[in-house]
Amino acid sequence: MDSHIPSPPTRRLSMGERENAIDRTIPLLPPAEEIDEFNYFDNNDPPEYLESLIHGAQEFVKFHKNDRVVLVTSGGTTVPLENQTVRFIDNFSAGTRGATSAEYFLEHGYAVIFLHRQFSLLPYSRHYSHSTNCFLDFMEEKNSKVIVDPIYQEEMLMVLRKYQHAKDHNLLLLLPFTTINQYLHTLRALSVTLRPLKSRALFYLAAAVSDFFVPLHRIPEHKIQSKAGGSKLVMNLDPVPKFLHRLVDKWAPGAMIVSFKLETDSSILLSKARQALERYSHQLVVGNLLQTRKREVVFVEPGKTELWIRLTPAQEAAGVDIESLIIPAIVERHDIWINKSKNSA
């Protein structure tokens, strides 16, 4: 580092500041009840494209009326701070978990509805995105033609064939969201669309969903002005009602529901995952830590001790996707779920 440039002071929040940063005296929000659902959806308008999006999903579900269909949610939801949005709060997620999982569900014979954050990673194209593994790096010019560099032919051909198969057999439906409001309206509408599939419908909720938002009646129309000389921006956010409970109880009765619990503190991951399972009474919580999410996850299920799924160092070095271990374990559980539902019908 250039000695003339003073190194920045190491910023340390005093314990007081850190401890008071978040008001932890606010009690845990109870799972959303019917009134919370009506309040939310009545006061926050649906996206104007919802009707046509759901029409497409209905056609897709009709086409797959005898198949297994998994709704994979992927990417982070945003919380706009202005109606004509310039600033927003984002939730971390590149979309790798969702896009990779969708590929393995397709390999296991599922039809996939991929509800994803717009411009986040997609199944198949994730291998050659515009930034990491830029697709242009795999091409070269030969006799004034663009060709794929021979050393990448085999791998790219494999990805292209899988992508083409999914398209030719109408197995993959890509549906976008950006804001938390678009996500929640679409999730609720899709769960109704999936009802005819009963236990053959699977929800795999890998999206990073906002917990706080600015309700429509409180959001400023135009860009928030920062006054000359600086001024604090004090935000007053409402908690997003805990819809997982409504999804399990009302929106998707009969479907198998898998949610993800994301933490950064390993000492609370298991308890928070178990707490989510007890609060929402669904079938599986996949717990993961931000820093190790690509090499280990933990399955937390009712009445069972937790099950860690980890890549071995050799698998990690070989670039094995942990989703290649997660998805077969979930498909196994979905087999049991479907058989149990048949026997109790």
Q: According to the binding rule CB under 6 A, does residue 191 interact with ligand 9Z6?
A: no
In the bound state with ligand 9Z6, the residue whose beta carbon lies nearer, of 30 and 302, is 30
Q: According to the binding rule CB under 6 A, does residue 293 interact with ligand 9Z6?
A: yes
Q: Which residues contact 57 (CB under 8 A, 6 or more apart)?
A: 113, 173, 175, 189, 190, 193
**What DSSP letter does each residue of 162-180 carry, written as one string?**
HHHHHHHTT-EEEEEE-BH
In the bound state with ligand 9Z6, the residue whose beta carbon lies nearer, of 64 and 116, is 116
Q: According to the binding rule CB under 6 A, does residue 96 interact with ligand 9Z6?
A: yes
Q: Which of residues 209-228 bind ligand 9Z6 (CB under 6 A)?
A: 209, 211
Distances, alpha carbon 252 to alpha carbons 141, 153, 261, in Å: 52, 43, 20
In the bound state with ligand 9Z6, the residue whose beta carbon lies nearer, of 82 and 296, is 296
**Residue from 64, 68, 97, 116 in contact with ligand 9Z6 (CB under 6 A):** 97
Question: Tokens 């600033």 — which residue?
Answer: 87
The stretches of 11-49 forming alpha helices (DSSP H) are 15-21, 34-43
**What DSSP letter does each residue of 79-145 carry, written as one string?**
EESSSS-S-EEE----SHHHHHHHHHHHHTT-EEEEEEETTS--TTGGGG-SSTT-GGGGEEEETTE
Among 151, 162, 152, 185, which residue's Cα sits nearest to residue 103?
Answer: 162
In the bound state with ligand 9Z6, the residue whose beta carbon lies nearer, of 274 and 293, is 293
Q: According to the binding rule CB under 6 A, does residue 261 interact with ligand 9Z6?
A: yes
Q: According to the binding rule CB under 6 A, does residue 203 interact with ligand 9Z6?
A: no
Quick note: the x/- pattern for ligand 9Z6 over 65-94, rule CB under 6 A, is ----------------------------xx
**Residue from 171, 206, 256, 284 in contact with ligand 9Z6 (CB under 6 A):** 206
Q: Which positions lie near ligand 9Z6, rule CB under 6 A?
A: 93-97, 205-206, 208-209, 211, 242-244, 259-262, 288, 293
